[in-house]
Structure 1
Amino acid sequence: MCLVGFAYKVWPGYPIVIASNRDEFFNRATEKASFWEDHPAILAGRDLQSFGTWLGVTKQGRVAFVTNNRNLRIPSISDPLSRGKLVSEFLISDLSSESYSKEIEANADKYEGFNLFVYDGGSLPVYISNRGGRRSVIEQGFHTLSNALWNTNWPKTEKLRSKMVPLYEDNFAARRNEGFPWEKIFEILNDRSMADSEGLPDTGIGKEKEKALSSIRITAPGYGTRASTIVAISEKGEVFFWEKTYKEPDAEEGEIVSYRFQIGE
Structure 2
Amino acid sequence: MCIVAFAWKAHPRWKLIAIGNRDEIHSRPADALSRWGDPSHLLAGRDIKAGGTWLGVSEQGRLAVVTNLSGHGTPDAEPASRGDLLKDFLSDDGRYSSLNATDFSDFNPFNLITVAGNKALIHSNRPHARSHILAPGIHGLSNGPIDKPWRKSGYLNSTLAAWIENESSNPGILLENLRDQTTFPLAPDAEPNSVSSLEPQNSAVFIRNPVYGTRCSTVVAIDHQGAGMITERRYAPSGKSTGDTRLSFTWPG
TM-score, normalised on structure 2? 0.89
Spell out, residue by residue over 1:78-122, the C-alpha distance to the aligned partner (whole angstroms, 9 max, x if none). Answer: 511101111111011169x9x933222xx2222110112221123
The structural deviation recorded for 1:203 is 1.5
Which of the two has higher C-alpha Rg? Answer: 1
Pair 1:223 & 2:212 matched? yes
Q: Could you tell me whether the CA contact under 8 Å between 1:202 and 1:210 is conserved in 2?
A: no
- The equivalent residue for 1:176 is none
Summarize the Cα distance change of 1:259–1:203 in structure 2 as closer, same or farther, 3 Å threshold.
Answer: same
The structural deviation recorded for 1:193 is 2.1
- The equivalent residue for 2:116 is 120
SS of 1:167's equivalent in the other structure is helix
| Aligned-pair identity (%) | 32
SS of 1:168's equivalent in the other structure is helix
Flag structure 2 segments of 5+ consecutive residues without an equivalent: none
Q: Could you tell me whether the CA contact under 8 Å between 1:109 and 1:130 is conserved in 2?
A: yes
Spell out, residue by residue over 1:193-234, the C-alpha distance to the aligned partner (whole angstroms, 9 max, x if none). Answer: 222x4855521679x855366100111231111110000110
Spell out, residue by residue over 1:60-81, the C-alpha distance to the aligned partner (whole angstroms, 9 max, x if none). Answer: 221111111011x536445111
For structure 1, which segment, 27-36 or 76-85, has the greater mean C-alpha deviation from structure 2 after superposition?
A: 76-85
Return the match for 1:130 from 125, 141, 152: 125
| Alpha-carbon distance in 2 for matches of 1:52, 1:111 | 13
For structure 1, which segment, 86-95 or 113-122, has the greater mean C-alpha deviation from structure 2 after superposition?
A: 86-95
The amino acid across from 1:2 in the alignment is C
Question: More helix per residue: 1 or 2?
Answer: 1
- The equivalent residue for 2:245 is 257
Q: Could you tell me whether the CA contact under 8 Å between 1:86 and 1:116 is conserved in 2?
A: no
| Alpha-carbon distance in 1 for matches of 2:235, 2:20 | 14
Q: Could you tell me whether the CA contact under 8 Å between 2:110 and 2:125 is conserved in 1?
A: yes
| Alpha-carbon distance in 2 for matches of 1:4, 1:43 | 18
| Alpha-carbon distance in 2 for matches of 1:247, 1:212 | 23
The structural deviation recorded for 1:182 is 2.3
The structural deviation recorded for 1:181 is 2.1
| Alpha-carbon distance in 2 for matches of 1:131, 1:214 | 23
SS of 2:43's equivalent in the other structure is strand
Pair 1:167 & 2:163 matched? yes
Flag structure 1 segments of 5+ consecutive residues without an equivalent: 174-179
Q: Could you tell me whether the CA contact under 8 Å between 1:59 and 1:261 is conserved in 2?
A: yes
The structural deviation recorded for 1:149 is 2.6
Q: Could you tell me whether the CA contact under 8 Å between 2:214 and 2:239 is conserved in 1?
A: no
| Alpha-carbon distance in 2 for matches of 1:121, 1:140 | 14
Measured on the aligned residues, the alpha-carbon RMSD in Å equals 2.5
Alignment coverage as a number of residue pairs: 249
- The equivalent residue for 1:63 is 63
Q: Could you tell me whether the CA contact under 8 Å between 1:144 and 1:152 is conserved in 2?
A: no
